[in-house]
Chains A and B, each alone.
Chain A
């Protein structure tokens, strides 16, 4: 009998936590420059005795010390050389600490406005966000941005740590003012738990131990809140979603679908539907190295064997037949743009949802978020660190749940087709309505749809090459017209004129160098000119 048909079994208790163990808490921290974020984390690590002596020795030996007194605890977490020198955190850094009650993973993210992408990255896996506010500066636009992005990415516990209370005389009035300043923002964010704590990270007040210098504060210190916080969503209680990562077939008798439950749970005999396609079958075996299971739940990694032969491959998803996931080729999604290269409608890209990668195109930019005012604005492009709502058309169905309902299946990343860079992160909201509403085309949309910009080509000097030129341009799929209306270049056409007109042509053909003329026209109309165009050549 082959190894693949022997079924040693194991109980679920082999995998589950003992009754008193709290699940790991993933949290992120965000704050503006000099809010004391690194100091706060250094303080948590130091006071929970996670810092090791030789690391402390390194800090005390370091050439840099920005603390006004004592050790500079921020050096414990600022890892890269550039950061040490400039005193800023430039990338997401992950920290680990534990107390007797719980283990923590901290995504420590930079505060600079230009690092919104890092903030979104840190928030994507977090259950709780600690938002640092400098008591002297109050609730700034940056604090609003941090809170909003955390909420958008699905963080449902927000802890506002009002830091540097020692520099405002531990004033209750200032603390209460900052609380009030945040009311407008918080009224816009639904479904969140909010805490406010006055702290001094430098001295440790209300971080691990309750401060005696602020008797008016009757809440718990920060660590107590962290130790008792609940995860954002109980993923095991959501409908079953099982993205297939790979098919395991060591011999002809065994065909298993390997993956990690993104959400939900399943039992032997449960009916599942394979998406896309919709073929149904039942779970015959739940295989692990440790033995076969009778049931499994998210986020376990298992291998499933189905009762029937089914044509299922990497990128497909097994879902609960009683509540299948959405399947659509055109979706609306909120996207955090993470590339220096701005996004315009018409852009082609790859969309990656875990193991599923599909070819897609951004068909429309519906609006952009003004994250500091929390209002939407009309937009024709998204620049680095901007957040907007897009319509995306995929070449194959996207399998998803709305991000607000399921973080594990509602997100995607945008990948560049050629450089392979990760350009953005998307949160799917819904299947898009059919595009029946047709507003006016924006200049950028027209550019992207045509694949080139317009140009006026003056042939008044050498009319005889017109036929050859028109043919050559059509051959490379440029939109060419012969007309005496040079202004039509504004609609993205390449206009060949023979008469004399006012204004400056983009290209004047004055010899028989046809190849040179074509190159000049292409240079004037490539999409690379699009950036200058976007900056307001004025249409």
Chain B
């Protein structure tokens, strides 16, 4: 037996995530995969295809559309889901949009609460989903470090950090009563670096916004905001053309780009090694107040 029976790091993560996705499909009546169009979602969908091959995806993809997303994201979403034959469902908090919700008048925190958090809770309720699979990772933010792989939500969709089910070995308790649900995080043990290395290894398509090219941006403090039709330019602000890329994707006014020359996943991995700042730094919403991600999660944010 000359062969060494040791899985590579990425294959071990892959095997664990596939196991979690299969548990989700088997334990719930009506699961859904929350598809945010970002790189983690791309990886998640890829893993789900592997988990049920040669069968089809046993659950639909749900996109919570804030209507403030980059047009490239929507194009990518429609093409990618069609190519792999997935069922795409889209939910928007139309009531809030009709009432004029936007980040400029309401501030990013309130806008995000209405168009993401509320929309997500309402979208899950409307679809009557008992499990929602998300791409959250424990390395992203401190309050996520304590998140379970199967994370219980009460009837109102709330997360109660003090009252989580103990999770031992790889045994996932997904039992729920009517109206309760579980959020499932198959990428819990992945880091940002693992995600990019896996995208490269498996050649997984991602939104081109992740790769550097010259873009017209507004320089707002430390943050570069790519110019889009729905981005407001404040008095005294100038636009300039900068070689940049997005490290995370979100709404146009809330997610900034970083200066970068990385045009391929390989060069992004090299760039990450030299990075000394976290990927969510350019997400305006996480920094509204100390512990703000935990507050959002308690309300139902992913």
Q: Establish whether residues B145 and A94, one from each chain, have CB atoms under 8 Å apart when the complex forms.
A: yes
Q: Does B176 lie at the interface of the complex (its beta carbon under 8 Å from any beta carbon of A)?
A: yes
A55 to B175: give the CA distance in the assembly, Å: 36
A77 with B145: in contact, given A124-B168, A300-B7 (CB under 8 Å)? Answer: yes
Q: Does A260 lie at the interface of the complex (its beta carbon under 8 Å from any beta carbon of B)?
A: yes
A308 to B146: give the CA distance in the assembly, Å: 45
Q: Establish whether residues B166 and A250, one from each chain, have CB atoms under 8 Å apart when the complex forms.
A: no
Q: Does B128 lie at the interface of the complex (its beta carbon under 8 Å from any beta carbon of A)?
A: no
Q: Does B19 lie at the interface of the complex (its beta carbon under 8 Å from any beta carbon of A)?
A: yes
Q: Does A33 lie at the interface of the complex (its beta carbon under 8 Å from any beta carbon of B)?
A: no
What is the interface of chain B, defined by CB distance below 8 A to chain A? 3-9, 11-12, 14-16, 18-19, 22-23, 25-26, 49-56, 138-139, 142-146, 161-162, 164-171, 173, 175-177, 188-189, 191, 275-278, 281, 290-291, 294
Q: Establish whether residues A17 and B6, one from each chain, have CB atoms under 8 Å apart when the complex forms.
A: yes
Q: Establish whether residues A15 and B26, one from each chain, have CB atoms under 8 Å apart when the complex forms.
A: no
Q: Does A400 lie at the interface of the complex (its beta carbon under 8 Å from any beta carbon of B)?
A: no
A80 to B16: give the CA distance in the assembly, Å: 26
Q: Establish whether residues B4 and A352, one from each chain, have CB atoms under 8 Å apart when the complex forms.
A: no
A187 to B7: give the CA distance in the assembly, Å: 35
Q: Which of A96, A117, A288 contacts B138 (CB 8 A)?
A: A96
What is the interface of chain A, defined by CB distance below 8 A to chain B? 3-4, 12, 15-19, 21, 23-24, 52-55, 58, 62-63, 77-82, 84, 90-96, 103, 105, 108, 117-118, 120-121, 124-125, 234, 236-237, 245-246, 248-250, 254, 256, 258-260, 265, 287-290, 295, 297-301, 303, 314, 338, 350, 352-355, 407-408, 411-413, 415, 419-422, 425
| Nearest chain A residue, comparing its CB with the CB of B282 | A54
Q: Establish whether residues A411 and B54, one from each chain, have CB atoms under 8 Å apart when the complex forms.
A: no
A179 to B204: give the CA distance in the assembly, Å: 52
Q: Establish whether residues B8 and A16, one from each chain, have CB atoms under 8 Å apart when the complex forms.
A: yes
CB distance from A154 to the nearest CB of B (A): 10
A288 to B53: give the CA distance in the assembly, Å: 7
Q: Establish whether residues A121 and B22, one from each chain, have CB atoms under 8 Å apart when the complex forms.
A: no
Q: Establish whether residues A250 and B5, one from each chain, have CB atoms under 8 Å apart when the complex forms.
A: no
A18 with B22: in contact, given A288-B53, A421-B165 (CB under 8 Å)? Answer: no
Q: Establish whether residues A411 and B168, one from each chain, have CB atoms under 8 Å apart when the complex forms.
A: yes
Q: Establish whether residues A236 and B54, one from each chain, have CB atoms under 8 Å apart when the complex forms.
A: no
Q: Establish whether residues A250 and B55, one from each chain, have CB atoms under 8 Å apart when the complex forms.
A: yes
Q: Please, which residues of chain A bring their CB within 8 A of the CB of B55?
A: 248-250
Q: Establish whether residues A92 and B146, one from each chain, have CB atoms under 8 Å apart when the complex forms.
A: yes
Q: Please, which residues of chain B bring their CB within 8 A of the CB of A236?
A: 5-6
CB distance from A349 to the nearest CB of B (A): 12
Q: Establish whether residues B54 and A52, one from each chain, have CB atoms under 8 Å apart when the complex forms.
A: no
A3 to B50: give the CA distance in the assembly, Å: 14
Q: Please, which residues of chain A bring their CB within 8 A of the CB of B51?
A: 258, 301
CB distance from B190 to the nearest CB of A (A): 9
Q: Please, which residues of chain A bring their CB within 8 A of the CB of B278?
A: 52, 54-55
Q: Establish whether residues B166 and A420, one from each chain, have CB atoms under 8 Å apart when the complex forms.
A: no
Residue of A79, A91, A118, A412 ringed by the most chain B CB atoms within 10 A: A79
Q: Which of B138, B171, B294 contacts A412 (CB 8 A)?
A: B171
Q: Establish whether residues A415 and B173, one from each chain, have CB atoms under 8 Å apart when the complex forms.
A: yes
CB distance from B131 to the nearest CB of A (A): 13
Q: Which of A54, A295, A407 contacts B277 (CB 8 A)?
A: A54
* A23-B9, A287-B53 given; 5 more Cβ-contact pairs under 8 Å: A81-B294, A117-B166, A258-B22, A288-B53, A301-B14
CB distance from A66 to the nearest CB of B (A): 16
Q: Please, which residues of chain A bring their CB within 8 A of the CB of B23?
A: 245, 355
A288 to B218: give the CA distance in the assembly, Å: 47
A425 to B168: give the CA distance in the assembly, Å: 7
A254 to B26: give the CA distance in the assembly, Å: 18
Q: Establish whether residues A94 and B165, one from each chain, have CB atoms under 8 Å apart when the complex forms.
A: no
Q: Establish whether residues A245 and B22, one from each chain, have CB atoms under 8 Å apart when the complex forms.
A: yes
Q: Please, which residues of chain B bring their CB within 8 A of the CB of A4?
A: 54
Q: Please, which residues of chain B bring their CB within 8 A of the CB of A350?
A: 175
Q: Establish whether residues A300 and B15, one from each chain, have CB atoms under 8 Å apart when the complex forms.
A: yes
Q: Please, which residues of chain A bring their CB within 8 A of the CB of B173?
A: 352, 413, 415, 420, 422
A93 with B5: in contact, given A4-B54, A79-B294, A124-B168 (CB under 8 Å)? Answer: no
Q: Which of B5, B50, B52, B144 contacts A297 (CB 8 A)?
A: B5
Q: Establish whether residues B146 and A79, one from each chain, have CB atoms under 8 Å apart when the complex forms.
A: yes
A419 to B180: give the CA distance in the assembly, Å: 11
Q: Establish whether residues A17 and B4, one from each chain, have CB atoms under 8 Å apart when the complex forms.
A: yes
A96 with B294: in contact, given A90-B162, A248-B54, A260-B19 (CB under 8 Å)? Answer: no
A21 to B144: give the CA distance in the assembly, Å: 28
| Nearest chain B residue, comparing its CB with the CB of A79 | B142
**What are 16 A-to-B residue pairs whose CB atoms are below 8 Å?**
A12-B3, A16-B5, A21-B6, A52-B278, A62-B290, A78-B142, A79-B146, A94-B145, A94-B188, A96-B138, A245-B19, A246-B26, A287-B53, A301-B14, A415-B173, A422-B173
Q: Establish whether residues A338 and B189, one from each chain, have CB atoms under 8 Å apart when the complex forms.
A: no
CB distance from B123 to the nearest CB of A (A): 24
Q: Establish whether residues A301 and B6, one from each chain, have CB atoms under 8 Å apart when the complex forms.
A: no
Q: Establish whether residues A425 and B166, one from each chain, have CB atoms under 8 Å apart when the complex forms.
A: yes
CB distance from B24 to the nearest CB of A (A): 10
Q: Please, which residues of chain B bring their CB within 8 A of the CB of A413?
A: 166, 168, 171, 173
Q: Establish whether residues B189 and A94, one from each chain, have CB atoms under 8 Å apart when the complex forms.
A: yes
Q: Which of B18, B26, B49, B276 contacts A301 (CB 8 A)?
A: B18
Q: Please, which residues of chain A bring their CB within 8 A of the CB of B175?
A: 350, 415, 420
CB distance from A380 to the nearest CB of B (A): 24
| Nearest chain B residue, comparing its CB with the CB of A90 | B162
Q: Establish whether residues A301 and B166, one from each chain, have CB atoms under 8 Å apart when the complex forms.
A: no
Q: Please, which residues of chain B bring their CB within 8 A of the CB of A420?
A: 173, 175-177
Q: Establish whether residues A299 and B7, one from each chain, have CB atoms under 8 Å apart when the complex forms.
A: yes
A425 to B162: give the CA distance in the assembly, Å: 19
CB distance from A152 to the nearest CB of B (A): 12
In the A-B complex, list the 6 residue pairs whose CB atoms are closest, starting with the nearest: A79-B142, A236-B5, A420-B175, A301-B18, A289-B50, A289-B53
Q: Establish whether residues B291 and A81, one from each chain, have CB atoms under 8 Å apart when the complex forms.
A: yes
